[in-house]
Amino acid sequence: MKIGRYLILFLLFMALLITFGNRGLVDNYLMSKRLADLKTQTIKIAAENNELKKKILLLRNDIDYIEMMARNELGMVKKGDVVYRFARQ
CA distances from 87 to 13, 45, 76, 84 (A): 78, 42, 19, 10
How confident is the model at residue 62, as a pLDDT?
Answer: 94
Contacts of 19 (CB under 8 A, 6+ apart): 25, 26
Q: Where are the domains of the chain?
A: 25-75
Cβ pair 14, 21 in contact under 8 A: no
How confident is the model at residue 34, as a pLDDT?
Answer: 97
How confident is the model at residue 65, as a pLDDT?
Answer: 94
Crossing angle for the helix pair 25-61 and 63-74, to the nearest 10 degrees: 110
With residues binned 3-state (H G I as helix, E B as strand, rest as coil), the percentages for the chain, rounded to 5, are 75, 0, 25
How confident is the model at residue 1, as a pLDDT?
Answer: 66
pLDDT tens-digit profile, the chain (89 residues): 678 888 888 888 888 888 877 888 888 899 999 999 999 999 999 999 999 999 999 999 999 999 999 988 888 888 888 888 888 87
